[in-house]
A and B are shown apart, each in its own frame.
Chain A
Amino acid sequence: MNESLRSLRDFFVSLKLTVALLVFGMLLIFAATLDQVNLGIWAVQEKYFRSFIVYGRFGEFAVPMFPGGYVIGGLLLINLVAAHIYRFAFTWRKLGIQLAHMGLILLLLGELFTGLLQEDFQMRIGRGETVNYAESFRDNELVLIDVTDPEFDEVVAIPTGLLEKGKPIQHPKLPFRVVPKLYYPNSILQMRPQDGPPSPATAGIGPQLMAAPQPITYRENERNVPTAFVELVGSGGSLGTYLVSTGLIRAQPFEHAGRQWKIALRVRRLYQPFSLTLNELRHDVYPGTEIPKNFSSRVQLKTADGREDREVLIFMNNPLRFGGQTFYQYQMDRSSGFTVLQVVRNPSWLVPYIACTLMTLGLLVQFGFHLIAFVGRRRAPAAAAPVSIPAAR
């Protein structure tokens, strides 16, 4: 074997690597736990565990500080698999260990897949209302909608991450360029006083408003209100600079080359090939108390192709699974008449169950072998031992 390949193999099968990675893992969890006070649970997960590198900020610069969860978990996975292949020879007596290790490998892979593939959204539906999209909990998007057609809207959705980069955006469906001028991840909007400083916005509602940047909030019950100033530039020059913000409820209309458009910054949407109509929502309490007994939403599920048209009851621990997504009862406001469903799309949701089953099976087999051997050893000497009769004196 080539020298460099051998050194690579030795590196990966090394028990020292396992110990080092476990220590790194502990340090990562420790740092993340402390940082949770500042960032909250979601941001900590993203920064420390669902990342390759943990970055620290020094002024304007992001500096790599520590390996992230993907690196530590990934190397542990490689280490485990490599050691498994290199050290363990398959024998029936070691079946249990093999199964338990396979379960562990699957568990690590499952977490990786969940981190990479799982998406969380929410669906907010008013009583009698029909909704065909879910909204992200945290992500936002700039949308440019061609509303000229009386039947359909043509939507181009640009993630706010691209606005942050500040580079001009050209898309084949847009007859103009989108040039991000300013982006505030969190802000407040106010009416602009008459004697206030001039606005960067030149069109739409923007010139009447003032946006003040705010620190990003990581609290779970608060939401950032991003605001951006974007200039639209057509072939004939600028169409104007718009202030867009999730704080503005309605999209701002404009016209270009004989077509009607709308521009807005909104919570990222995931459109579904089906719709849910809220028929009934219930919030039952135990008689004579205010203690909640049951939250449930009765919804009509309808697909665009007409194949599905049925009523579904969603309540705590009884989600709707449809279209590769799971719809959980999440929040409810009976007085305002709306329900909020949490929509989770995780193609690898079964993996942890299979992993745990494999590990349990492996441990049962392993301990079972040991138990049988132990009982066998105890029986054998008992059967073979000679009966001794003490001599009488």
Chain B
Amino acid sequence: MRIPFDRLILLALPLALGACGDQQIAAYRIPKEKEPELAPAAAHAHGNSGTTPPAAGENAAPGMGSGMAGTAVATASGPGLTWVAPAHWQSKAGSAMRKGSYAIPGDGGVMADLAITAFPGDVGGEVANVNRWRGQIQLPPLPEAAVAAAVTRLEHNGLRMGVVDLVSTGANPTRVLGAWIPHEGSTWFVKLTGPDGLVAKEKPAFLEFLQTIKPAAQP
């Protein structure tokens, strides 16, 4: 079949037009602007009854610590989670990206740290997250099957949770009790880190704490 040249041109025109787009570099002068305010970290204003702020995109991100040169990282958006912390956990000023932050005092002045963070997506998946925590206490990464075997599955208030208990080796071992909670397209992490003895003692309180976590909208 012979297609006339003018029709070919006509049919090719949309392809050429389709390549056009609004990709112009703009240069302009504006009056001096104020730097955006960094919102204070959540949960602290509520004592031990933590409540996450209503997510509102980038402006709702908590502030970064001083080590971050005043730059803030956006955390997960979407509906948040609420929780009730045990009375002896001390709510503390948050640092980078934390939705909640607690200090847990032990005997002899030792302290454990509990951090609640949230990120969009699955943050690389279960295996990557567990191995990241293992890496933080100098443990070698585990293959997928071994990670799956190490995870305890829980479900509270309609939230599915994965929990791991990791202990480092050495003279003064560090223990990490970590839980992750997929919620509304984000993953929430609850991580208790501290000296082995103290974290082991706090394990029942940690597991009870997980039971109090529920979606913000739930009464």
Contacts and interface: CB of A to CB of B under 8 A. Distances in A.
A191 B96 contact: yes
Given A154-B29, A249-B58, A193 B71 contact: no
Nearest to B53: A336
B74 A159 contact: no
| SS of B interface (majority) | loop
B120 A225 contact: yes
Contacts of B96: 191
A51 B18 contact: yes
Contacts of B26: 155-157
B68 A52 contact: no
A70 B15 CA distance: 11
A313 interface: no
Interface string A212-248: 1010000101110100000000000000000000111
A52 B15 contact: yes
Nearest to A67: B14
Given A4-B4, A247-B73, A250-B71, A152 B36 contact: no
Nearest to A174: B27
B7 A11 contact: yes
A125 B38 CA distance: 16
Contacts of B74: 189, 225, 246-249
Interface in A151-170: 151-159, 161-162, 169
B21 A161 contact: yes
Contacts of B29: 152-155
Contacts of B170: none
Given A159-B22, A188-B121, A191-B96, A249 B72 contact: yes
Contact of A271 (B21, B30, B71): B30
Interface in A274-329: none
A60 interface: no
| SS of A interface (majority) | mixed
Interface string A25-44: 00000000000000000000
Given A189-B74, A271-B30, A68 B18 contact: yes
Given A11-B7, A52-B18, A222-B77, A208 B68 contact: yes
A229 B81 CA distance: 33
A250 B119 contact: no
Contacts of B185: 219, 222
B69 interface: yes
A193 B32 contact: no
Contact of B14 (A70, A157, A171): A70
A356 interface: no
Contacts of B130: none
B87 interface: no
A153 B4 contact: no
A162 B31 contact: no
A252 interface: yes
Interface string B1-43: 0001011000000110110011111111111110110100000
Given A188-B119, A191-B96, A333 B54 contact: yes
A155 B30 contact: yes
Contacts of B35: 250
A206 B67 CA distance: 13
A134 B121 CA distance: 28
Interface in A168-200: 169, 171, 173, 188-191, 193, 195
Nearest to B97: A191
Nearest to A144: B27
B33 to A, nearest CB: 7
A368 interface: no
24 contacts: A4-B6, A8-B7, A52-B15, A70-B17, A132-B30, A151-B32, A157-B28, A159-B25, A161-B23, A162-B25, A171-B27, A190-B119, A193-B135, A193-B136, A195-B135, A209-B73, A212-B123, A222-B77, A247-B58, A248-B73, A250-B35, A250-B70, A250-B72, A271-B28
Given A152-B31, A154-B28, A225-B120, 16 more contacts: A4-B6, A7-B4, A124-B59, A153-B29, A153-B30, A154-B27, A159-B22, A161-B21, A162-B25, A169-B25, A190-B123, A209-B73, A221-B78, A222-B185, A249-B59, A271-B30
Interface of B: 4, 6-7, 14-15, 17-18, 21-33, 35-36, 38, 54, 56-59, 61, 67-74, 77-78, 96-97, 119-121, 123-124, 132, 135-136, 185
